[in-house]
């Protein structure tokens, strides 16, 4: 691994910074201990790999992993509206906004488990940056567009295979939202990984209420089933050759409208409450994404090139791990801890300002008397 000392310094810089992070800024912070050229070369020479990342987090994962662990999978977009477009910084569909946005699409694999002292820890075991390296002609618009040689679902399955077969990560459940609940992903978890999934399902998916109904092609949309709320039943999802447990819960949106969440699992022993308790772990990945962007400067690097952006993201993931461990040590949350750092920084700036204000004593007497409030 290239220069682990500078990686440690750079990730600490991400934790302590509250604005854009630059090589010049870090060099100034270190009183030129490292020149900005050294820092720039560090970011530009040789891309950190997922093997590098696993070597760094392996020890932590081994200390916290449990057979009942939960692996949350979701993607996020680090928006880069004003950056030069390339294979990594390009347009991706944002499900939350319902439109394409320009930025870096990152698929995260977050491990979630309780600790003996009652606290919970969430750590990334891996992350994948979606790179659209292929060009194709969009027949609808007659424009050349970018695409990845692998779909997100294919990327997810390959990384899960590595985590299970090579990294030997212990976990029982995989959780994700509707966007990853394809029949290929569900079959892969069930047969290839021999793990359980607890995931959300769209209301337009087709199910049969019995194996006989499945054979006879009697399919019904999930949203049209007369299911009792919080009463799991076994159904057959179209495209799967094994039954699944399905339940639903009604909820109210922030705008007052009603919604329904459908959950499915291949663990038939789970109760309704257990299904939702496990699935609720998925929200830890949403907090993870928010913390990456607000607390460790994921989107705050102005670097232009793919390799420097990729290495910056790698360092941001390391910074998040550091912040998570500090959170446990301080018995607080990451946002409160970052606020504490900000307050300390403001206090230090205020004390420095008070020291500098002694300049008034060196002014001519007439200025000292005419502007007393500046004294």
- Mean pLDDT over residues 340-356, rounded? 88
- Mean pLDDT over residues 140-166, rounded? 94
- Mean pLDDT over residues 183-203, rounded? 96
- Mean pLDDT over residues 126-145, rounded? 91
Q: Give yes or no for residue 334 having a pLDDT over 60.
A: yes
Q: Give yes or no for residue 353 having a pLDDT over 80.
A: yes
pLDDT at 367 (0 to 100): 58
Place of tokens 């307050």: 343
Q: Give yes or no for residue 98 having a pLDDT over 90.
A: no
C-beta atoms surrounding 279 within 10 Å? 24
Nearest to 38 by CA among 53, 48, 23, 49: 23
Q: Give yes or no for residue 304 having a pLDDT over 80.
A: no
Q: What pTM was computed for the model?
A: 0.91
pLDDT at 1 (0 to 100): 60
pLDDT at 357 (0 to 100): 73
Per the DSSP assignment, residues forming a β-bridge with 250 are 260
CA distance 270 to 353: 60
CA distance 261 to 114: 25
Burial of 207 (0-12, 13-18, 19+ CB in 10 A): buried
Structure tokens at 341: 């750092």
pLDDT at 363 (0 to 100): 62
- pLDDT interval class at 355 (50, 70, 90): confident
- pLDDT interval class at 326 (50, 70, 90): very high
CA distance 54 to 52: 6
CB 238 within 8 A of CB 209: no
C-beta atoms surrounding 240 within 10 Å? 17
Q: Give yes or no for residue 321 having a pLDDT over 50.
A: yes
Q: Give yes or no for residue 296 having a pLDDT over 50.
A: yes
Where are the domains positioned within the chain?
Answer: 195-275, 343-374
Position with higher pLDDT, 54 vs 228? 54
pLDDT at 375 (0 to 100): 46
Instruction: Provide the mean pLDDT of the chain.
Output: 90
pLDDT at 195 (0 to 100): 97
Could you report the per-residue pLDDT of 262-278, keeping only the tens digit for each? 999 999 999 999 999 99
Nearest to 260 by CA among 326, 213, 205: 205
pLDDT at 89 (0 to 100): 92
3-state secondary structure of 328: helix
End-to-end CA distance of the chain: 53
């Amino acid at each position: 691994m290239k220069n682990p000392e500078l990686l440690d310094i750079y990730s600490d810089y991400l934790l302590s910074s509250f604005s854009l992070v630059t090589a010049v800024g870090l060099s100034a912070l270190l009183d030129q201990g490292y020149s900005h050229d050294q820092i720039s070369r560090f970011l530009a020479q040789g891309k950190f790999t997922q093997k590098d990342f696993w070597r760094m987090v392996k020890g932590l994962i081994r200390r916290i992993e449990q057979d009942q662990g939960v692996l949350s999978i979701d993607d996020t977009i680090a928006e880069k509206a004003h950056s030069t477009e390339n294979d990594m910084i390009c347009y991706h569909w944002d499900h939350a906004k319902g439109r394409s946005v320009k930025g870096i699409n990152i698929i995260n694999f977050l491990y979630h488990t309780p600790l003996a002292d009652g606290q919970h820890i969430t750590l990334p075991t891996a992350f994948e940056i979606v790179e659209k390296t292929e060009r194709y002609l969009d027949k609808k618009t007659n424009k050349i567009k970018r695409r990845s040689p692998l779909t997100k679902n294919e990327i997810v399955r390959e990384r899960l295979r590595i985590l299970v077969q090579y990294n030997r990560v212990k976990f029982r459940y995989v959780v994700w939202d509707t966007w990853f609940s394809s029949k290929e992903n569900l079959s892969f978890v069930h047969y290839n990984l021999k793990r359980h999934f607890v995931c959300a399902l769209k209301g337009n998916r087709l199910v049969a209420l019995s194996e006989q109904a499945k054979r006879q092609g009697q399919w019904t949309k999930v949203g049209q089933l007369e299911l009792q709320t919080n009463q799991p039943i076994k159904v057959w999802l179209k495209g799967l050759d094994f039954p699944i447990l399905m339940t639903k819960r009604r909820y109210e949106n922030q705008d007052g409208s009603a919604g329904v969440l459908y959950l499915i699992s291949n663990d038939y022993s789970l109760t309704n409450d257990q299904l939702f308790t496990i699935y609720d772990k998925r929200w830890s990945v949403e907090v993870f994404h928010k913390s990456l962007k607000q607390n460790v400067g994921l989107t705050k690097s102005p670097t232009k090139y793919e390799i420097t952006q990729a290495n910056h993201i790698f360092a941001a993931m390391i910074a998040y791990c550091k912040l998570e461990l500090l959170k446990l040590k301080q018995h607080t949350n990451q946002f409160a801890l970052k606020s504490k750092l900000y307050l300390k920084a403001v206090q230090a700036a205020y004390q420095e300002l008070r020291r500098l204000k002694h300049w008034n004593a060196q002014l001519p007497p007439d200025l000292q008397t005419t502007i007393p409030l500046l004294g």
